[in-house]
Amino acid sequence: MKPVALVEGRGVPLGRSDIDTDQIIPSEWLKRVERTGFGRGLFSEWRDDPSFILNQQDFVGAAVLVANARFGTGSSREHAVWALMDYGFEAVVASSFGDIFRNNASKQGLVIVELAEADVAELRDLIEKNPRMVITIDLTRRTIEVAEVAWQREFAMSDTIRERLLNGWDDIGLTLLHEDDISTFETSYDRQHPSAAAQFSAEATS
């Protein structure tokens, strides 16, 4: 994953609440075996509507999606994160997020900014008034800011996630630093709890 310290770009206000991952990327898009090309499927059930916000000229090329409560609930599909990033979003701002979505985002470098509902609404209003203004998200300071109108908020982000984003760390690599711990645990665990699934290996293959 690429390190990310700063996100700078225009915003898109998407005021609906409860945008689940089926909405972000409908299931017909899940048949791909690649990790790329999902941007075309982003919100695809809404994109046919010319008045849908992503179709408006003002918002082409925006980097920050400003949503509403419970963004990314539902299915575990990481494709939702791939779709947002492939489309060009680098951060999502909302008042709450689905747990798995939030996790998936942190593995890919999509920045999740959780703010109080009133602050998110304020930010959406600001963008609606002036779609061209630039939003700056600074992970080092944990701030989100619209310098033009002197609007700034702090947000919470766990040290673990922030470090990972700032350094672009690969989770697997980090875990494998504990290889000795894993092996020690595994050896004693295997003795007491042999794999229950292993016995089906002979029955497999059609």
Partner 1 sequence: MGRTLFEKIWDSHLVTSSETGPSLLYVDLHLIHEVTSPQAFDGLRIGGRRVRRPDRTLATADHNVPTDPLDVPVADPISKKQLDVLEENCAEAGITLFPRGHANQGIVHVIGPELGVSQPGMIIVCGDSHTSTHGALGALAFGIGTSEVEHVLATQTIPQTKPRTLAVNVVGTTPLGVTAKDIALGVIRRLGTGGGSGYVVEYRGHAISALSMEGRLTLCNMSIEAGARAGLIGVDDVTINYLRTTPGVPQGDEFATAEKSWREFASDPDAVFDDEITIEAASLAPLMTWGTNPSQVVEVTGVVPAPVDEADTRSLEYMDLAPGTPLSQVAVDVVFIGSCTNSRIEDLRAAAAVAAGNTVASSVRALVVPGSHRVKKQAEAEGLDQVFLAAGFEWREPGCSMCLGMNPDQLTPGQRSASTSNRNFEGRQGRGGRTHLVSPAVAAATAIVGCFAIPHEVAR
**Shortest spacing between CB 84 and partner 1, in angstroms:** 13
How many alpha carbons fall within 13 Å on the CB side of residue 129? 9
**Shortest spacing between CB 18 and partner 1, in angstroms:** 5
Residue whose pair of structure tokens reads 């994160």 in the numeric block:
81
**Shortest spacing between CB 173 and partner 1, in angstroms:** 8
Neighbours of 68 (CB within 10 A): 20
60 vs 176, beta carbon nearer partner 1: 176
| Cα–Cα distance, 58 to 198 (Å, whole number) | 56
39 vs 74, beta carbon nearer partner 1: 74
Three-point CA angle 125, 128, 131, nearest 5°: 130
| Cα–Cα distance, 159 to 142 (Å, whole number) | 10
Residue whose pair of structure tokens reads 């033009």 in the numeric block:
148
Q: Which amino acid is at 28?
A: E
Helix (H, G, I), strand (E, B) or coil at 73: coil
**Shortest spacing between CB 147 and partner 1, in angstroms:** 31
60 vs 168, beta carbon nearer partner 1: 168
List contacts with partner 1 (CB under 8 A).
16-18, 20, 22-23, 26-28, 30-35, 45, 69-70, 73-79, 81, 96, 98-100, 103-104, 107-108, 158-160, 170-172, 175-176, 178, 181-182, 185-186, 189, 193, 195-201, 203-206
Q: Which amino acid is at 52?
A: F
**Shortest spacing between CB 193 and partner 1, in angstroms:** 7
141 vs 178, beta carbon nearer partner 1: 178
56 vs 175, beta carbon nearer partner 1: 175
Neighbours of 156 (CB within 10 A): 9
